[in-house]
Structure 1
Amino acid sequence: MKELAKKLINVEHELNKEIKVYFLGSLIADHLRYVFLNQAKKNKESISGELLGAIKLLFKFLAKSSKPANINGGIKVIFGRSGQKHHHHRLVDYLEDEYKSESMLFDKGYKNAIALLPLSKRIKIFFNVLKKLPFAYKSAKKKLTNYGLIPYQSKLITNLTGQLIKFEAAMAYLQSIAGLKLVVVDYDRSTFSALVLAANALNIKTVSFQHGAINPPYGYVPLIANEIWVWGNTWKKSLVAMNVPASNIQIVGSTIAEHFPNHKSARIKTIGIGPNPIGFYHNFALWSQLTVELTDLGYEVIVKLHPSMKVNDEVLKIFGSKAKIVNAAEMSNPDFLSRIDLLVISNSGLGYEAVLANVPVAVKRQAGSIGNDDMMITEGSFPELISGSKLKQQILSIQENYQEVLASETDYVSKNIYQQTGNEARLATIKLINNYIDGVAK
């Protein structure tokens, strides 16, 4: 999986160098990662079917009802919130409240931008996309093939069409806002890659927040935004090690994490599991046996899925019928952490939040992991759980040394993971944004 990830990063870099106007590699990187890393099934559509899907997207865009652009003057910053989950709101909502009339919230994909474009501009975009699409497709297909990656053609064409539409629409939208200084998003990939790339092309400053733990080789790299604002020095070092210039990284702390004192007893009854979206087979190998063993030992197990995961047949196969499984929409992190006595994670930033909530954390190491698993165990001295006959004794050891384990983990997190959290992080972020708006920072 790591080798495949590195190949996709190389494809992204090379496509960015080949087509610099809209950095094709970064524009479609999330699609490629999803398709190849999640082992999506090949699409067997014919060439005519592939082209039909792209044409439908184009005409759907062209047929959008429009209204005259009515963008208020004085807009200096656009904020991008990519979802409605707890962490999305913690990252962005306070900024919208702080800047009010000076800001605009981008929270519905590109519908905001497209709805404000007059028909004449959408017709121009329509032909621009038609012109760029064949070359973009050939370039992407060639680079993927060079690395032994066979593209899923219909999905690639459809994604290219959609992303080019978003890029062109974002360009037109941003150009219509006089005096815009800054675009700040909760993540510079996925929903907002086209917006950030368009802002970059127009020399509008762009910023992405760190919203989760950084795990090589994927760790917000290649950085699409001009800057990334991170939780603490550990993450800055990680990004620098992955060739992100130190000058492009600012430390502001985490507005997601906050101290939630939970006065728990040292008796472990309920164990939480926080999985990541690493694909069915990897998650099955990591969690299936452990979950069965924990429930057989009499522990209540609550599984809180990563925000990008949903409860489905594959998830049920991984965690079985005895564990309680919830998604991010059903239970916030603070609520989840208030219900458990021990959290077991693998390469997840949720573990650091748990420590701030006075919940001790154990690590289930992913085979071949070079990310947070190794860092937490070797540098932070977090206990490691290993499935098998000694599992119960491992948990009892944590229970017997509950306060000592928690104190050690708290010390590590406070010194290395978060420079500051909650309101202090919000104030640091606002100060930096003000500097960019006022022209103090460059």
Structure 2
Amino acid sequence: MRFTDAFAKLPPATLQAISPNSVLGRLRFIILYTGGRLFLNIFLPVRKPENIKGKIWLYVVSKNNYESLHFLQNKLPDSVFVAGQNKEIGIYNQKVNRLSTRFKFLYYYKFLPLNWGLYRLKGKRALRFFDLIYVATGYYELSIRYLQKYKPAAIIFANDHNTDPRALLLAANKLNIPTVYIQHASVSTSFPPLQFSLSLLEGQDALDKYQQCGPVTGEVKLIGMPKADKYLTQKNLSTTIRRVGIAANIIDEIQPIKALLEALFQALPDIIFTLRPHPGDKRNFNFVKEFGANIRFSDGKKEQAFDFLKQQDALIAADSSIHLEATMLNILCFYYRFNTTEFIPDYYGYAQNGLVEEVKDANQLINLLRKYQNHRPLVYERARYYNAVLGTEYEGRSHELATTYILEHLNKLKTV
């Protein structure tokens, strides 16, 4: 994804946090990464309290990943959570086994040839993101090393596009280790092709998009959203709007968020608005305290998305999967962009497919909130294109489907 148009069009502030905009900034990042990660990791202890050899690995790269796969830990007795040595898993940091990256520096002789090869393939973007190529160097070789050492029975992923899970996937495919992908968030046509032995997707939307990303290999099943199962019986059937959530993503700009809060605070004092930044957003949102009692804050690092959504009647967000999660709980959603950059509008196609109502400015949003304030419509059926089991006997039982398909798949491979 690092060389796609979508990535290149990220807001400058967001891109700066991933890959500094200046060459000197990227060189500084490489120096700090080399000292703080590559060489420091040689001496740091690696947390591995469980025996991971021969087990089913639940490989995670974030708090959201962990929550998406947690249901499998009890369903698959031989499963263990695994993450890279420095991966930030939030409140679950102490609950995952770590794979050391202390030998990663051994493979950096490949960096310059790799950069040159990508330049010939991708052009100037390979030069722009040479720091990201530097970070990615060695992950594949390291993955081969650990897979040969620990010989996992299978690897289950909730992320199919970040650097280290992608490297682990390619290494597992080379060594004929079964791989399973459980979709944990909405996808776009900028994602890499599906290359797992079994892919468990939420619905037809995901499959349609992945088919545009390239050839789909392995089995594909549509199972809905396992992490939503226990919440689907708690749909919000209220006909009024009294509480509105505002979900901010890391690509959203602070100033437009503040401006919208100011407008909502002034125009709709009888509605409680709660801002919830993405769990991975490290920016300062203390400005929320400047407003009155009807503007509140939810810490995404501590409160799960569905627990936040249960308290809302409507949701305002831009390009975020939380729209889908909210709609499944019958929460009215408004697509409102918080940035002025060229980033692809309606990235997930929610507005185009009728999942959400698109609004262009604060005045239109305020008018719609007033319109629906005492006449909130039912909306959860809009999510059927995205969640294959809504309205079927398996609604709320996606985790059962996932477990069944995984066990069937692994048992079938044993007999081959």
Q: What TM-score comes out, normalization by structure 1 length?
A: 0.72
Alignment of 1:360 with 2:332, yes or no, is yes
What is residue 221 of structure 2 aligned with on the other side? 250
User: What is the Cα deviation at residue 49 of structure 1?
Assistant: 9.5
Give the secondary structure class of the aligned counterpart of 1:301: strand
- For 1:80, the aligned partner's letter is Y
User: What is the Cα deviation at residue 325 of structure 1?
Assistant: 3.2
User: What is the Cα deviation at residue 302 of structure 1?
Assistant: 0.7
Q: Percent identity?
A: 16
Is the CA contact (8 Å cut-off) linking 2:154 and 2:178 kept in structure 1?
yes
Unaligned runs of 5+ in 1: 10-29
What is residue 5 of structure 1 aligned with on the other side? 4
CA distance in 2, matches of 1:423, 1:97: 17
Alignment of 1:113 with 2:99, yes or no, is yes
Alignment of 1:379 with 2:353, yes or no, is yes
CA distance in 1, matches of 2:199, 2:353: 24
Q: Deviations over 1:19-39 (max 9, x none)?
A: xxxxxxxxxxx9xx9757967
Give the secondary structure class of the aligned counterpart of 1:379: coil
Equivalent residues, number: 386
**1:109–1:435 distance in 2 versus 1, CA, 3 Å:** farther
User: What is the Cα deviation at residue 76 of structure 1?
Assistant: 4.8
Give the secondary structure class of the aligned counterpart of 1:309: coil
What is residue 143 of structure 2 aligned with on the other side? 170
Is the CA contact (8 Å cut-off) linking 1:106 and 1:112 kept in structure 2?
yes
Give the secondary structure class of the aligned counterpart of 2:142: helix
CA distance in 1, matches of 2:246, 2:236: 20
Q: Deviations over 1:152-203 (max 9, x none)?
A: 65x347514xx41x4333222211234x442111112335233223212222
Is the CA contact (8 Å cut-off) linking 1:266 and 1:400 kept in structure 2?
yes
What is residue 75 of structure 2 aligned with on the other side? 98
Is the CA contact (8 Å cut-off) linking 1:293 and 1:387 kept in structure 2?
no
Which of 102, 111, 114 lines up with 1:133 in the alignment? 111
Is the CA contact (8 Å cut-off) linking 1:5 and 1:37 kept in structure 2?
no
Alignment of 1:393 with 2:367, yes or no, is yes
CA RMSD of aligned residues (A): 4.1
Please identify, of 133-142 and 389-398, the stretch whose mean Cα deviation from structure 2 is larger: 133-142
Which of 28, 46, 58 lines up with 1:79 in the alignment? 58
Is the CA contact (8 Å cut-off) linking 2:323 and 2:356 kept in structure 1?
no
Give the secondary structure class of the aligned counterpart of 2:80: strand
What is residue 276 of structure 2 aligned with on the other side? 304
What is residue 42 of structure 1 aligned with on the other side? 22
Is the CA contact (8 Å cut-off) linking 2:169 and 2:179 kept in structure 1?
yes
CA distance in 2, matches of 1:68, 1:264: 45
Q: Deviations over 1:196-248 (max 9, x none)?
A: 232122222222221112234x3x32446455321111221122133342755
CA distance in 2, matches of 1:99, 1:357: 28
Q: Deviations over 1:123-168 (max 9, x none)?
A: xx754x1432332244345656x23664365x347514xx41x433
Q: Deviations over 1:250-279 (max 9, x none)?
A: 312111223142566433232111222225
If each structure's helix is expressed as a fraction of its own residues, which one has the higher value? 1
Q: Deviations over 1:364-409 (max 9, x none)?
A: 257852433xx4444336433342544433112222431xx22xx2
CA distance in 1, matches of 2:108, 2:84: 25
- For 1:134, the aligned partner's letter is L
Q: Deviations over 1:311-370 (max 9, x none)?
A: x24x567x7843433332232223212322211222322122223333222222578524
Is the CA contact (8 Å cut-off) linking 1:113 and 1:170 kept in structure 2?
no
Unaligned runs of 5+ in 2: 87-96
**1:270–1:59 distance in 2 versus 1, CA, 3 Å:** closer
CA distance in 1, matches of 2:330, 2:345: 26
Is the CA contact (8 Å cut-off) linking 1:256 and 1:422 kept in structure 2?
no
**1:305–1:428 distance in 2 versus 1, CA, 3 Å:** same
